[in-house]
Chains A and B, each alone.
Chain A
Amino acid sequence: MAGDAIVVGSGAAGSVVAWELARNGWSVTVLERGRHMRAGLGQRPSGELGTRYGSDEIKSARHFGMPDPLLEPYTQRTQEEARAGIARSAVGAYGQLGAAVGGTTLHYNAKFPRFWKQDFHTLSLLGPVPGAQVADWPITYDDLEPYYDIVERRVGVQGDRDRMPPRTREQSPRSRQFDMPPNPEPYVGKLLAEGARRAGCTAYPQPAAVNSRPFKGRPACNSCGLCSGFGCPINARGDALVSFLNPAVRTGRVRVIARAFAYRVETRRNGKRAVGVRYVDRNGRRRKLSADIVVLAGSPINTARLLLMSRSSAHPNGLGNRSDQVGRNMMFHNFTQAAAIFTEDIHPERSQSNPHQVDDLVGPFTGLEAKALGVPWIKGGLIQLGGAMPLFTEAGLYAGAVGYGIAHKLLMKAGLLHSQVGGSQLIHEDLPQAHNRVDLDPEITDHHGFPAARITYSPHRHEKAAAILLGVRLELIHALAPGAIGAAIIPYPLINPGVQYTAHLAGTARMGTDPDTTVCDPDGRLHEVENVYIADASTFPTFPGFNPTNTIMANALRVARGIAKGSGARRAAEREATSARELEAAG
């Protein structure tokens, strides 16, 4: 039976939930703490929406579409600092994701790989790791695969299944070819792909939610290169808003309240059912909404914070936190970055960024090489080959290296980093740790007076071992690229004791069947509250080294479809699957 739902957050997870529930007749209110950025939302087809974004680095530097760190700071410390009783060592924007209608997907890099089969069984396949809470997922790849397929069809993904290595196809099998071929291969991509081949690896076009041809009324990408951190000026990127939220709003059953900061999930006195959500509106007024169900989709740090702020007599440690697991197992994707230096102008910015993917360092590595580094096994992740460096990043790096003055200017004139350096990054699997957690800062607040999220984080020995073992191979790929005269790596897990800036977050409310060790059941529902669900990456028990948005969307769709059971959802899924098969048969 369809009812009323409140969805907190309008990004990758929230937009998908709103779309799926609306399709099944639910009335949905989406609370989004950010502002509207896309003119025409709900009034025009997605291909005709306007945008306030542009290829404007000053705007990006000024937190456009992001939470402002002055008004909404997070605080941060390492595990060692926490043990020493230090309340926080930094205040700012650590781990902040976008705050806009559509969420971070408005300016994400749009890389769209799937997780692998083995990622759902890490504990069973590889065993425990001391100091980490390695776990199996309560679902499998096969459970998620139909949802991956639906999401990819709606978002529009470019790639080439035929060029994927056999192991990738075996570990993340796909029922069909991608909707679009890859963008033109950038020059830097060719060079680094050849370096990978010489190093014994296989590079192939990285799946990306970016149009390489007109798709659903939106144009093809023109390879400007400014993807991550920038809104797409021409609407060529498949984001949560154009693919899910706008169509959902156009059903007439979904409304989005922008600049609505949710600060409490209210429950009945016994704590077993939620009755609504309290939020602060754009004018600073405190309001309350009631609904039959509440779906949290504000991303891992914010979801944990909201649960912890929702404590009551029935939930004295925070909503659904009898297990004391809310906020724990906070995971960030650490990166090891690599660069190859060339003698010619390789213009890496002329690209649909990071054109290639290499999976040879995904692992697991279980031999002596891992044990010699002090861990029973090592899992790495994918490599994104061929990224560009925007000018502001280059200027900031030089500022750090030489300070101000003529030296800085000369380095900018040489322009080495943006014109002759091809960069890549290895995405590290980050193991879940109990002491890597989000809690409420005892002193620092946001501008409404609510406690800031405090992140305690240190990379596990596993991440450091992975950087040592895999960093060498990553560097080799770059050193062997044709024309490269040098290569270097920056292994962040080794040099950064705390949170690295990344938009890849997971954990804080893991799903599982045991209420003593997990927060949600496999359907995303809180063990202790029958009508509160979590649809974002908070529920991920582990965090494999792949860009997570595709999996976030697929899992959110799975959760939403579970909510909608009994309201025709299964029949809709069957209809959609039938329709998809017909489409494929029709070529």
Chain B
Amino acid sequence: MGADENRGRTRREVLRDGTAVTMALFVAPAASSLGDVAVAVGSEPAFFTEREMHTLRGLVDRFIPGKPEDLDDGAVAAGCAEAIDALLGAFEFDPPRIYAGGPWSKRGGGERNHFKRFVRLDAYEEKAWRLRIEGSRGRKKLEFNGPVTGWQEIYRNGLSVLNGAARNGDFGSLSPLERDLILRTSTNPWVRELIDVAFPHTWQFMYGAPEYGGNRGLIGWRYSRWPGDVHPRGYTREEIEQPGPGGGIGGLLNIVKSILSLDELLALAPYAGGGESAFGLAARSESLRELREEVRPVLRRMREERNGG
């Protein structure tokens, strides 16, 4: 059994080569190297070396890109790399950083942030999470269903292979396009394992409670317009019974259905502004036609590539 019981599923999930490669191509002109977008956050790493952290930031940046590819910050600024480090070094903390406490944070009107104090694990949970993170490492008692490769080993080896694949030995310093190409084309099993594990970790920390270390400044919740944890206040009757103020996409879907393909929507994305989605921008824009003209060359390149041209 592998380190992650979801491994098979996530591998299928993350491998959607065609679309993703074309996306990398059309966003590349607007992007810069990681050096410009990386934000150094957090104190000393709990598990990784500084060099590994640099590589890891280069990785999570490709999973959820930030500025300037998009007008909203991405996984690097949200602290996803530091959150992954904290997870892999969970047992360096007391209590281990596996389960945030309950029942609520202060975001929903509570007087105290209970999420900040992590739950003390019992022996069962510690056994499970040490096995998942550290692996079985040849200990027969833990290999009742075969060896378990821990997340630590998957990350360490995967990041090392990524650096080895970089022309300068430094994956994190490569341009977004170069990093994308390595990730999309590598058949190295450690890289495939790394993507299978690290992408779910990245989006979980991007869109999960910030007490785990990611979603810094509630970046993920803000741009996805997710309310987060709302207890103990919850919602008023009016908030429940009436439509929300969002509706940024309002009416757009009609446009989408009749005018825009998914490809076109995705190609429009870099033009979205101010925390607004491309859908929302287009919905309110008087110049949808102009936008379409702008993305037409990009779309042509995407289609040519997809057709093997």
Please tell me if A495 contacts chain B, counting CB pairs below 8 Å: no
Q: Which residue of A lies closest to B212 (CB)?
A: A58
Q: Which residue of A lies closest to B12 (CB)?
A: A400
Please tell me if B63 contacts chain A, counting CB pairs below 8 Å: yes
How many chain A residues touch B (Cβ–Cβ < 8 Å)?
81
Please tell me if B104 contacts chain A, counting CB pairs below 8 Å: yes
Chain B residues, Cβ within 8 Å of A282: 122-124
Please tell me if B309 contacts chain A, counting CB pairs below 8 Å: no
Please tell me if A123 contacts chain B, counting CB pairs below 8 Å: no
Q: Which one, B200, B226, B250, B254, contacts A415 given CB within 8 A?
A: B226
Q: Among residues 71 to 107 in chain B, which have CB atoms less than 8 Å away from a CB atom of chain A? A: 72, 74, 98-105
Contact (Cβ within 8 A) A71 B241:
no
Contact (Cβ within 8 A) B70 A409:
yes
Query: A80-98, CB under 8 A of B: which get 1 and which 0?
Result: 0000000000111100000
Q: Among residues 34 to 75 in chain A, which have CB atoms less than 8 Å away from a CB atom of chain B? A: 35, 50-59, 61-64, 68-71, 73
Bound-complex Cα distance A392 to B6 (A): 15
Please tell me if B251 contacts chain A, counting CB pairs below 8 Å: yes
How many chain B residues touch A (Cβ–Cβ < 8 Å)?
101
Contact (Cβ within 8 A) A405 B20:
yes
Chain A residues, Cβ within 8 Å of B62: 404-405
Please tell me if B247 contacts chain A, counting CB pairs below 8 Å: yes
Known interface pairs A70-B132, A222-B232, A282-B124; A419-B225 also in contact (CB < 8 Å): yes
Contact (Cβ within 8 A) B254 A485:
yes
Contact (Cβ within 8 A) B65 A406:
yes
Q: Which residue of A lies closest to B251 (CB)?
A: A343
Q: Which one, B13, B148, B279, contacts A403 given CB within 8 A?
A: B13
Chain B residues, Cβ within 8 Å of A419: 225, 244, 246, 249
Contact (Cβ within 8 A) A73 B145:
yes
Looking at A344, A401, A413, A486, the one whose CB has the most chain B CB atoms below 10 A away is A413
Bound-complex Cα distance A414 to B256 (A): 13
Q: Which one, A52, A259, A415, contacts B119 given CB within 8 A?
A: A52
Bound-complex Cα distance A401 to B16 (A): 8
Q: Which segment, of B32-40, B49-57, B166-174, B201-209, faces chain A?
A: B201-209
Chain A residues, Cβ within 8 Å of B240: 183-187, 223, 350-351
Contact (Cβ within 8 A) B253 A415:
no
Contact (Cβ within 8 A) A71 B269:
no
Closest Cβ of chain A to B130, distance in Å, is 10
Bound-complex Cα distance A91 to B247 (A): 42
Contact (Cβ within 8 A) B207 A407:
no
Please tell me if A472 contacts chain B, counting CB pairs below 8 Å: no
Chain B residues, Cβ within 8 Å of A185: 240-241
Chain B residues, Cβ within 8 Å of A58: 100, 204-205, 208-209, 212
Contact (Cβ within 8 A) B124 A91:
no
Contact (Cβ within 8 A) A54 B104:
yes
Q: Which segment, of A167-175, A441-449, A547-555, faces chain B?
A: A441-449
Please tell me if B245 contacts chain A, counting CB pairs below 8 Å: yes
Chain B residues, Cβ within 8 Å of A402: 16, 19-20
Contact (Cβ within 8 A) B203 A399:
yes
A-B contact number at CB 8 A: 275
Chain A residues, Cβ within 8 Å of B289: none
Query: A394-430, CB under 8 A of B: which get 1 and which 0?
Result: 0110011111111111101111101110000000000
Q: Which residue of A lies closest to B16 (CB)?
A: A403
Contact (Cβ within 8 A) A391 B226:
yes
Please tell me if B278 contacts chain A, counting CB pairs below 8 Å: yes
Chain A residues, Cβ within 8 Å of B98: 62
Please tell me if B217 contacts chain A, counting CB pairs below 8 Å: no
Contact (Cβ within 8 A) A70 B200:
no
Closest Cβ of chain A to B241, distance in Å, is 6
Please tell me if B260 contacts chain A, counting CB pairs below 8 Å: no
Chain A residues, Cβ within 8 Å of B101: 52, 54
Chain B residues, Cβ within 8 Å of A313: none
Bound-complex Cα distance A405 to B14 (A): 10
Contact (Cβ within 8 A) B64 A70:
no
Please tell me if A341 contacts chain B, counting CB pairs below 8 Å: yes
Chain B residues, Cβ within 8 Å of A401: 16
Chain B residues, Cβ within 8 Å of A410: 70, 265-266, 269, 272, 277-278
Bound-complex Cα distance A284 to B15 (A): 41
Contact (Cβ within 8 A) B235 A222:
yes
Looking at A53, A71, A446, the one whose CB has the most chain B CB atoms below 10 A away is A71
Please tell me if A529 contacts chain B, counting CB pairs below 8 Å: no
Known interface pairs A224-B235, A392-B207; A52-B102 also in contact (CB < 8 Å): yes
Contact (Cβ within 8 A) B232 A234:
yes
Contact (Cβ within 8 A) A345 B122:
no
Bound-complex Cα distance A65 to B152 (A): 24
Chain B residues, Cβ within 8 Å of A187: 240-244
Closest Cβ of chain A to B91, distance in Å, is 14
Please tell me if B252 contacts chain A, counting CB pairs below 8 Å: yes
Q: Among residues 102 to 124 in chain B, which have CB atoms less than 8 Å away from a CB atom of chain A? A: 102-105, 114-115, 119, 122-124
Chain B residues, Cβ within 8 Å of A415: 224-226, 246, 277
Please tell me if A349 contacts chain B, counting CB pairs below 8 Å: yes
Contact (Cβ within 8 A) B279 A414:
yes
Bound-complex Cα distance A90 to B242 (A): 45
Bound-complex Cα distance A407 to B131 (A): 33
Chain B residues, Cβ within 8 Å of A392: 204, 207-208
Chain B residues, Cβ within 8 Å of A73: 1, 5, 145
Query: B267-298, CB under 8 A of A: which get 1 and which 0?
Result: 00110100101111000000000000000000
Q: Which residue of B lies closest to A231 (CB)?
A: B102
Please tell me if A273 contacts chain B, counting CB pairs below 8 Å: no
Please tell me if B27 contacts chain A, counting CB pairs below 8 Å: yes
Query: B196-236, CB under 8 A of A: which get 1 and which 0?
Result: 00011011110111001000000011011111111111110
Please tell me if A309 contacts chain B, counting CB pairs below 8 Å: no
Instruction: List the 5 closest A-B pairs by CB distance, nearest first.
Output: A222-B234, A345-B246, A345-B244, A233-B103, A54-B102
21 pairs from A and B in contact (CB 8 Å cutoff): A51-B103, A52-B99, A53-B102, A53-B103, A54-B100, A54-B101, A54-B231, A59-B99, A68-B128, A73-B145, A187-B243, A282-B124, A347-B243, A347-B246, A403-B199, A407-B23, A412-B220, A413-B272, A415-B224, A415-B246, A416-B249
Interface residues, chain B, with chain A CB atoms under 8 Å away: 1, 5-6, 8, 10, 12-17, 19-20, 23-24, 27, 62-65, 69-70, 72, 74, 98-105, 114-115, 119, 122-125, 127-128, 131-132, 144-145, 148, 180, 195, 199-200, 202-205, 207-209, 212, 220-221, 223-235, 237, 239-254, 257, 265-266, 269-270, 272, 275, 277-280
| Given A68-B125, A404-B20, A407-B19, 9 additional A-B pairs, CB 8 A | A54-B102, A187-B244, A231-B103, A405-B23, A405-B24, A405-B180, A406-B23, A407-B266, A413-B224
